[in-house]
A and B are shown apart, each in its own frame.
Chain A
């Protein structure tokens, strides 16, 4: 069945897109893998859809000391990109686990973020990378740190009429003799085509003595937004990820999350899953 819209606009430039998006009844559409479902179910309404497919917002490029990923880049392209796989393996891994392959060939990075779901799988990898979201509006551009982008379920820092143009990930050089372990793992009823019950993105830099010089942990589906697990990170800082440190981290991480009961899982289960995912990640870091 047709979705209930009155108009679709297919602009050829960002300026043209922004001009239409100034209308209160207009909404951008990228891959449509969230929006088409929401329009169908009546969870969202729009009189006018602005198709972002012709704006040249797709592609991954190296820009100085950062990698910039266009908002319209698909999950399939991100998962297969050599620079992303080398520098940001957690992001490549997450992109390859969004839905199934036909979803990944449509779903975009910008749509995943703008949809504002606490379960957005690319959010955790971007949080541990310290990424910036490049936002454009008729008045100019601004850069929103990913940690300030998500405001609540379905709510983001984007204002009416604004577009995500790209996401910028700073490259982190690793000093000699250091070991980096970066992972993304999600838990759900099956591996593909499911929204995460909980997910963890982790990045650890291990010194020659086996101690954690840096550890960043982000969690999905266990709070109103994707979150950095700062209490767990503090508990681990400078320590070897041995059994004692892992136990302390598993305790600390409970303060980082505020899971709810929903159709996918009870809150109590999510708390246990987070502790297990964190423990597994840290064991992997310890083993090397």
Chain B
């Protein structure tokens, strides 16, 4: 039995403390210890992006992050993307039909929200989404939703 390590996170705006085995991945801490099962495990190897969360404001694949490395940092999962309501990109994904089976959606939503926050446009915006694989939609509707959300963010009603 190995010693446990303490991991303190600001998780979706709330300060939380976890005692976990040293080899715990951030992904498993989120799903199993924090009960936030929105974040999905696809490949477990950094390739699909389904497990993407924000770590100090930038998207990372949580399957490759040691929970202990995230200690003291801020984590936002799909559950915490919008404040209370859906994030504009999530709204746009729904409106555009950018969700089919939904398995990639939490990661896509998180990366897309971060891309919008960075304020990039056009091809650069598409490049930032390229690490999130989707086997259903063919991407066109996801990218259209991102364009819609960019307009919504730029010109709030």
Determine the residue in chain B with the shortest Cβ distance to A1: B28
Tell me the bound Cα distance from A21 to B54 in angstroms: 30
Q: Could you tell me if A100 and B131 are in contact, using CB atoms closer than 8 angstroms?
A: yes
Determine the residue in chain A with the shortest Cβ distance to B107: A102
A276 within 8 A of B: no
Binding site of B, secondary structure by majority: helix, strand, loop or mixed?
A: mixed
Tell me the bound Cα distance from A160 to B9 in angstroms: 32
B2 within 8 A of A: yes
Measured CB to CB, the closest approach of chain A to B157, in angstroms, equals 29
Further 20 A-B residue pairs, CB within 8 A, beyond A37-B45, A51-B69: A2-B24, A6-B22, A7-B3, A8-B23, A8-B66, A10-B69, A40-B45, A49-B66, A53-B69, A99-B131, A100-B130, A102-B52, A102-B131, A103-B46, A103-B61, A105-B58, A105-B60, A106-B61, A192-B127, A193-B131
Q: Could you tell me if A101 and B131 are in contact, using CB atoms closer than 8 angstroms?
A: yes
Given contacts A3-B25, A6-B2, A101 and B69 within 8 Å (CB-CB): no
Determine the residue in chain A with the shortest Cβ distance to B49: A102
Highest count of chain B CB atoms <10 Å: which of A33, A36, A37, A101 = A101
Q: Which residues of B contact A272 (CB under 8 A)?
A: none
Determine the residue in chain A with the shortest Cβ distance to B44: A40
Q: Which residues of B contact A106 (CB under 8 A)?
A: 55, 60-61, 64-65
B77 within 8 A of A: no
Contact of A37 among B3, B52, B60, B64 (CB under 8 A): B64
Closest 6 CB pairs of A and B: A100-B131, A192-B130, A2-B23, A105-B58, A3-B23, A8-B22
Q: Mark B120-139, 1 if CB is under 8 A from A, else 0.
A: 00000001111111000000
Q: Could you tell me if B23 and A5 are in contact, using CB atoms closer than 8 angstroms?
A: yes
A contact residues, total (Cβ < 8 Å): 32
Q: Which residues of A contact B36 (CB under 8 A)?
A: none
Tell me the bound Cα distance from A33 to B25 in angstroms: 12
A→B interface (CB under 8 Å):
1-8, 10, 29, 31-33, 36-37, 39-40, 49, 51, 53, 76, 96, 99-103, 105-106, 191-193
Question: B residues 92-129 with Cβ under 8 Å of A?
Answer: 107, 111, 114-115, 127-129
Q: Mark B11-34, 1 if CB is under 8 A from A, else 0.
A: 000000000011111001000000
Q: Mark B47-80, 1 if CB is under 8 A from A, else 0.
A: 1010010010011110111101101000000000
Q: Which residues of B contact A6 (CB under 8 A)?
A: 2, 22
Q: Which residues of B contact A76 (CB under 8 A)?
A: 58
Highest count of chain B CB atoms <10 Å: which of A1, A7, A8, A193 = A8
Q: Could you tell me if A102 and B111 are in contact, using CB atoms closer than 8 angstroms?
A: yes
15 A-B pairs (CB sep. < 8 Å): A3-B66, A10-B71, A29-B66, A32-B69, A33-B61, A36-B46, A40-B45, A49-B66, A49-B68, A53-B69, A102-B111, A103-B46, A103-B61, A192-B131, A193-B131
Measured CB to CB, the closest approach of chain A to B133, in angstroms, equals 8
Q: Which residues of B contact A7 (CB under 8 A)?
A: 2-3, 22
Given contacts A3-B66, A7-B3, A37-B46, A103 and B24 within 8 Å (CB-CB): no
Tell me the bound Cα distance from A193 to B48 in angstroms: 9
